[in-house]
């Protein structure tokens, strides 16, 4: 008999949800749309090519070297002409000021001559420390104009690339000038009788060290992923974003779930349910199961979007892994935590307006602290321990252990247990609050 009452309670909740077709569509469509948009944005941010306006006022050898080295950097594209016209300094600054471009690099007049002479004098100072040499001339500054709206990480990336290019040019010039002076240095250390008998070969840098003028990589660099589980699969933005933002979307079930409690309380439906021969536990259980079914469908929709929609945009397909049982355990744990939190808010909240504000804001805060919006390693040191308080962090950590680190049941058990305990604690707290409120009434 209790099973029949529970089924009736579940059907009642599902019927209420189905009647709100617009709200139900938003529950399914918006989280999937969110995952697609966020994943596309992050993938493009990590693989995008930055257009940099390049104005070579100097027109010397150093500018040509800088241009050549920049051409080897895949993530930066130099633009020297627009609409068939050569860029000027004022034009480049105006385009950046108008936010049409984010960066402009200006090579000032006299850069090549000052840099070349500086390299020659530095080589003389290093090879002949006792010789009186002229002071190294002041080299004009390379100017980098940027749009103030550009994030610091992009500015740092462009500045780092420019510093590497400039360092390469300086190193090449120092080597060239040092090689030119090398015969004189060797001759100075030889006895006078041997100086005329010694002939030196061509010490041109292009002949002796051609690798300085080529894109030569002597030391290879390769990425490896360190995990205690020995998992070496290449992580992608899809594998990282789909579970993270799916958790974020699922937790928004707290708004309609908590709202259903408040609507039943305000309309008197909850009072009528209590006088019926149905236990409050059955009513709550029916509500929980109904909304868990909705969350389950929502999660499946998001996973399907990751598997079939994202590849249509040229991204890798989401792979739920080869352990569906463990994937299901994490999914159910996240859903249980979200539903428990919704029940607690619905019991404590007095009006729907309170829930409509507090619920989403608390979820956004939990996502920010939990590493979904900002990676944990990017948080300030004093905030990192706080992330352990966010159930969204537990869900994301569990899915990452499973999908990115190749974890097993033992590895996800702490996160799954924490989520289930959180959902149970919220439900028990809601029940105790309801009982205590009834006694005081």
- Say whether both 181 and 298 belong to one domain: no
Cα–Cα nearest to 250, from 300, 313, 306, 203: 300
- What is the reported pLDDT for 125? 75
What distance in Å separates the CA atoms of residue 193 and residue 36, rounded to the nearest whole number? 80
What distance in Å separates the CA atoms of residue 60 and residue 110, rounded to the nearest whole number? 8
Q: Dump pLDDT digits (tens) for 249-295.
A: 889 888 888 888 787 777 766 666 555 566 666 767 777 888 888 88
- Say whether both 120 and 173 belong to one domain: yes
Task: Name the pLDDT band for 218 (thresholds 50, 70, 90).
Answer: very low
- Say whether both 62 and 195 belong to one domain: yes
Tokens encoding 154: 């992009």
- What is the reported pLDDT for 64? 81
Residue 220 is assigned to a structural domain of this protein: no
Q: Could you write out the DSSP letters of every residue in 150-200?
A: S-HHHHHHHHHHHHHHHHHHHHHHHHHHHHHHHHHHHHHHS-HHHHTT---
Q: Is there a contact between 343 and 292 (Cβ–Cβ < 8 Å)?
A: no
- Say whether both 190 and 267 belong to one domain: no
**Alpha carbon 437 to chain centroid, angstroms:** 45
Task: Name the pLDDT band for 331 (thresholds 50, 70, 90).
Answer: very high
Mean pLDDT along residues 81-91: 86
Q: Dump pLDDT digits (tens) for 127-147.
A: 777 776 667 677 788 888 888
- Say whether both 299 and 427 belong to one domain: yes
Tell which of 213, 246, 277 closes a domain.
213
Range of the structural domain that residue 138 is part of: 49-213
Q: Is there a contact between 264 and 270 (Cβ–Cβ < 8 Å)?
A: yes
The CATH number of the domain holding residue 177 is: 3.40.1710
Residue 223 is assigned to a structural domain of this protein: no
Write down the residue that tokens 């299901």 correspond to: 328
Q: Dump pLDDT digits (tens) for 362-393.
A: 888 888 888 887 777 667 777 778 888 889 99
Please state, for a pLDDT cut of 70, what percent of the chain lies above it: 68
Strand partners of residue 77: 51
Asked whether the whole model's pTM tops 0.95, one would answer: no
Question: What is the number of structural domains in the chain?
Answer: 2
Q: Dump pLDDT digits (tens) for 337-356.
A: 999 999 899 888 888 888 88
Q: Dump pLDDT digits (tens) for 3-56.
A: 666 676 666 666 655 666 655 565 666 666 766 766 766 665 555 677 888 888
What distance in Å separates the CA atoms of residue 273 and residue 270, rounded to the nearest whole number? 5
């Amino acid at each position: 008999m209790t099973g029949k009452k529970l089924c009736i309670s579940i059907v009642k909740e599902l019927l209420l949800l189905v009647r709100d077709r617009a709200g139900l569509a938003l529950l399914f469509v918006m989280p999937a749309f969110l995952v697609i948009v966020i994943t596309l944005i992050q993938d493009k941010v990590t693989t995008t090519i930055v257009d940099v306006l390049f104005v070579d006022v100097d027109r010397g050898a150093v500018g040509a070297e800088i241009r050549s080295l920049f051409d080897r950097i895949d993530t930066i594209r130099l633009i020297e002409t627009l609409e068939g016209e050569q860029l000027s300094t004022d034009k480049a600054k105006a385009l950046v000021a108008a936010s049409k471009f984010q960066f402009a690099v200006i090579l000032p007049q006299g850069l090549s001559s000052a840099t070349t002479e500086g390299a020659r004098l530095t080589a003389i100072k290093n090879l002949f420390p006792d010789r009186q040499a002229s002071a190294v001339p002041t080299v004009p500054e390379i100017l980098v104009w940027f749009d103030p709206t550009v994030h610091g990480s992009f500015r740092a990336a462009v500045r780092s690339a420019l510093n590497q290019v400039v360092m390469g040019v300086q190193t090449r010039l120092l080597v060239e000038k040092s090689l030119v002076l090398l015969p004189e240095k060797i001759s100075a250390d030889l006895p006078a009788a041997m100086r005329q008998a010694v002939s030196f070969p061509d010490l041109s840098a292009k002949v002796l060290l051609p690798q300085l003028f080529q894109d030569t990589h002597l030391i290879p660099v390769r990425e490896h992923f360190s995990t205690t589980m020995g998992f070496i699969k290449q992580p992608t933005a899809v594998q990282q974003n789909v579970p993270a933002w799916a958790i974020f979307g699922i937790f928004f079930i707290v708004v309609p779930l908590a709202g259903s409690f408040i609507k039943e309380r305000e309309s008197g439906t909850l009072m009528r349910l209590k006088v019926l021969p149905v236990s409050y536990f059955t009513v709550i259980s029916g509500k929980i199961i109904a909304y868990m079914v909705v969350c389950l469908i929502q999660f499946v929709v998001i996973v399907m979007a990751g598997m079939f929609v994202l590849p249509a945009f040229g991204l890798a397909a989401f792979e739920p892994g080869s352990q569906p049982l463990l994937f299901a355990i994490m999914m159910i744990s996240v859903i249980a935590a979200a539903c428990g939190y919704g029940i607690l808010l619905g019991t404590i909240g007095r009006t729907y307006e309170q829930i409509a504000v507090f619920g989403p804001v608390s979820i956004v805060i939990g996502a920010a602290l939990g590493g979904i919006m900002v990676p944990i390693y990017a948080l300030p040191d004093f905030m990192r321990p706080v992330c352990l308080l966010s159930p969204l962090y537990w869900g994301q950590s569990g899915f990452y252990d499973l999908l990115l680190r190749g974890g097993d049941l033992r590895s996800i058990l702490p996160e799954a247990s924490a989520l289930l305990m959180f959902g149970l604690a919220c439900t028990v707290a809601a029940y105790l609050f309801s009982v205590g409120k009834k006694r005081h009434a």
